[in-house]
Amino acid sequence: MSKEGLPEVSSIDATGLTVGVVTSMWNEEICAQLHRRAIETGAQLGAKVLDYRVVGALELPVVVQKLAETCDAVVALGCVIRGGTPHFDYVCDSVTQGLTRIALDSGKPVGNGVLTTETEQQAIDRAGFEGSVEDKGAEAMTAALHTALLLRSL
């Protein structure tokens, strides 16, 4: 698992920051858990959290782009599980490139919590359920808010 080497980030006080959370509804149970964990983490860190849903991962970048105009940070959440066609590769590449471009063009951090897995079980293991080994919704929120605070200090 990619959790190996994950840094401990402490003492984040995101009071006064606004963060948008955009979550895909595809693979609903997994995405709902990512969403819950991101929202909870943002609130615990003191940020004002705006909450939006889109149908699939391909719709994430356009909404993230719009939120980057007014938010201090944005978190994109979703789950793409490999199927039997190359569609997985196209979706994952498009979403990653789109989110990266938005962060660079806007100068706003975009926490990428879009799971790209081979199996549903791998996604469950990364979604922050009880017994999961990772919590990507919380991690994406923490990374986005930490980066927003760093950018404010530069």
53 annotated among ligand-binding-site residues: no
**Residue 119: Cβ-neighbour burial (10 angstroms; 0-12, 13-18, 19+):** exposed
146 as an active site residue: the answer is no
Q: Which residues, in sequence order, are CB contacts of 37 under 8 Å at separation 6+? A: 127, 128, 135, 136, 137, 138, 141
Which candidate in 1, 6, 16, 87 is catalytic? 87
112 annotated among ligand-binding-site residues: yes
How many other β-carbons are positioned within 10 Å of the β-carbon of residue 27? Answer: 21
57 annotated among ligand-binding-site residues: yes
149 annotated among ligand-binding-site residues: no
64 annotated among ligand-binding-site residues: no
80 annotated among ligand-binding-site residues: yes
Residue type at position 37: R
How many other β-carbons are positioned within 10 Å of the β-carbon of residue 104? Answer: 10
d(CA 8, CA 143): 11
12 annotated among ligand-binding-site residues: no
> Which residues are annotated as part of the binding site?
26, 57-59, 79-81, 84-85, 112, 126
> Which residues are annotated as part of the binding site for 5-amino-6-(D-ribitylamino)uracil?
26, 57-59, 79-81, 112
> Which residues are annotated as part of the binding site for (2S)-2-hydroxy-3-oxobutyl phosphate?
84-85, 126
Residues involved in catalysis: 87
